Chains A and B, each alone.
Chain A
């Protein structure tokens, strides 16, 4: 049992101070703005919850919300199992591990605003490697007219960009499993599924929870990468939540953009709360198993 006293606060104080200044103060500012009509920052009118009511009533908000939710779910369903599978496939020999991990992390090092450009040039029907090959297979040059094909491209791009992070995190956890565990499993003639279920998966849980959280939230609020692919089109089919907010900020609509920011932060908070509940459950289960 850890000793329970206030010394801990001394150690977290620098972090609390830093995040207080660059996180909490801006957040409070946004909350404050969200109740005002603001033309210029010195001149403002109290409008109570008007902006919130406007956003909630707009059909556009709910359709963006639905699209972002669907997108995040698809991202999780693809990237998490794929990430685990690839992490488990990585060979055990030292040299190969290093090389594969280094190779797989390359997409994570591309500046985010260049990721759509990379994929658009890859899919270019005249000069792109994939565009030309897919053209032969019947991929239409005018794929931007199709909502389905646009979604496939954005999903492929996001999978390319982020699955490596899931792989890195999962591999790091699997690599800490001591060899005797596997030897014991081999003596018991355990199959690959049993090894995964009883040896690898328990080690993965903590990391997976964080991977799911990061992937869910970052894809739910995807901004820089998704918009340039098809400018939100066709017909708004790839307009996600963060795009709406970005447009209001660009138009200097202080009040409405602040209200939208607060709504998004409430979503963030509820997701973080679910995460901490899950983490607590996991800690309890693991504490129970070991103690």
Chain B
């Protein structure tokens, strides 16, 4: 291997080490008894944190809630983002630049700025303490970013394809559904992955919108902190909460590595 190759590999290995170090700590702690329990000394290694995790009904419900709201969020975001991304990519209309700016402004608005009115609005609509409420609130940042990602994928498809389809008598919606959608399938997958990633780990909306019911994993984790926190159990739940995402990344690895042009027109 030549010198640049060695430097590149070394940089990657160092960064990978930096990335996994806190995760190793987490894994080690998750297999350690951190609170005195009958028949277990503090500091001894144990599977008990994981058996607690599987048997505790509150934690099991939290996993179900998290999966539910993320799926609902993706099911709302994608169908709404797709036509918008198509419009931003292919059409020009009065105010398009400003509208895109407004969308981006909502993506970068910190959730804490809108927590209070969103809580009031959702209370009025009766969707507080339900997975649907969180799913809807998370559209605030997932929808703009989805439009941005999908726009890149659509722009990579030659425009001639649209024009040929229109000559063949396709209407725009039918063209999007029949021809464009299969072409940008990897883009849909990548977008869904980013929605999952940003939504799964968010806590500010998740906290204010679930005071009694519908708590996701992050809030179940919060509830574990107290006067005597079982940090081993906390780490076990955290590790378990990363598994769905890790599986998803692994399935997505080829889509991600093939590269995609994001943004731009």
A contacts, CB < 8 Å to B: 1-9, 11-12, 14-16, 18-19, 21-23, 25-27, 29-30, 33, 41, 82, 85-86, 88-91, 94, 97-114, 117-119, 121-122, 127-130, 160, 163-164, 168-169, 171-176, 192, 206-207, 209-210, 213-214, 217-218, 221, 223-224, 242, 245-246, 249, 254, 257-258, 261, 264-265, 268-269, 271-273, 275-276, 279-280, 282-283, 286
Indicate which residue in B21, B116, B148 contacts A122 across the interface (CB closer than 8 Å): B21
Tell me the minimal C-beta distance from B242 to chain A in angstroms: 5
Q: Please, which residues of chain A bring their CB within 8 A of the CB of B118?
A: 22, 26
Q: Is B64 interfacial (CB-CB < 8 Å)? A: no
Tell me the minimal C-beta distance from B104 to chain A in angstroms: 5
CB distance B11 to A86 under 8 Å? yes
Task: Report the contact-size class of chain B (Cβ under 8 Å from the partner).
Answer: 35 or more
The 6 sampled A-B contact pairs (Cβ below 8 Å) are A30-B117, A41-B120, A118-B26, A173-B261, A217-B108, A268-B109
On whether A207 and B263 interact (CB within 8 A), knowing A8-B91, A19-B103, A271-B108, the answer reads yes
**Further pairs besides A30-B116, A98-B257, A129-B28: 15, Cβ < 8 Å:** A5-B93, A6-B93, A30-B114, A89-B8, A94-B254, A98-B250, A102-B249, A109-B242, A109-B246, A111-B217, A112-B202, A206-B263, A223-B112, A224-B204, A275-B101
Complex Cα distance, B265 from A8, in Å, reads 15
User: Which residues of B212-265 are within 8 A (CB) of A?
Assistant: 217-218, 221-222, 231, 234-235, 238, 241-242, 245-246, 249-250, 253-254, 256-265
CB distance B115 to A249 under 8 Å? yes
Complex Cα distance, B193 from A101, in Å, reads 13
Tell me the minimal C-beta distance from B202 to chain A in angstroms: 7
Q: Please, which residues of chain A bring their CB within 8 A of the CB of B55?
A: none
Where chain B touches its partner, the secondary structure class is helix
CB distance A106 to B246 under 8 Å? yes
Q: Please, which residues of chain A bring their CB within 8 A of the CB of B21?
A: 122, 129-130
Q: Please, which residues of chain A bring their CB within 8 A of the CB of B264?
A: 206, 282-283, 286
Q: Please, which residues of chain A bring their CB within 8 A of the CB of B126?
A: none
CB distance B201 to A112 under 8 Å? yes
Where chain A touches its partner, the secondary structure class is helix
Indicate which residue in B4, B108, B137 contacts A218 across the interface (CB closer than 8 Å): B108
CB distance B114 to A23 under 8 Å? yes
User: Which residues of B4-63 are within 8 A (CB) of A?
Assistant: 4, 8-9, 11-12, 15-16, 18-26, 28-29
Most buried by B among A82, A94, A264, A268: A268
Indicate which residue in B108, B218, B246 contacts A113 across the interface (CB closer than 8 Å): B218
Complex Cα distance, B234 from A2, in Å, reads 54
CB distance A26 to B117 under 8 Å? yes
Complex Cα distance, B106 from A271, in Å, reads 12
Complex Cα distance, B231 from A207, in Å, reads 39
Q: Is B167 interfacial (CB-CB < 8 Å)? A: no
Indicate which residue in A41, A108, A114, A160 contacts B234 across the interface (CB closer than 8 Å): A114
Tell me the minimal C-beta distance from B72 to chain A in angstroms: 13
On whether A209 and B112 interact (CB within 8 A), knowing A103-B16, A112-B201, A272-B104, the answer reads no
Indicate which residue in A15, A98, A112 contacts B218 across the interface (CB closer than 8 Å): A112
Complex Cα distance, B118 from A29, in Å, reads 9
Complex Cα distance, B111 from A265, in Å, reads 11
Indicate which residue in A11, A108, A213 contacts B91 across the interface (CB closer than 8 Å): A11
On whether A106 and B97 interact (CB within 8 A), knowing A2-B90, A129-B24, A218-B108, the answer reads no
CB distance A98 to B97 under 8 Å? no
A interface footprint on B102-143 (CB within 8 Å = 1, 0 otherwise) = 111111111011111110110000000000000011011001
CB distance B117 to A272 under 8 Å? no
CB distance B104 to A11 under 8 Å? no
Instruction: Rank and list the top 4 A-B pairs by shortest CB-CB distance, nearest first.
Output: A175-B259, A98-B253, A8-B93, A26-B117
Most buried by B among A86, A89, A275: A89
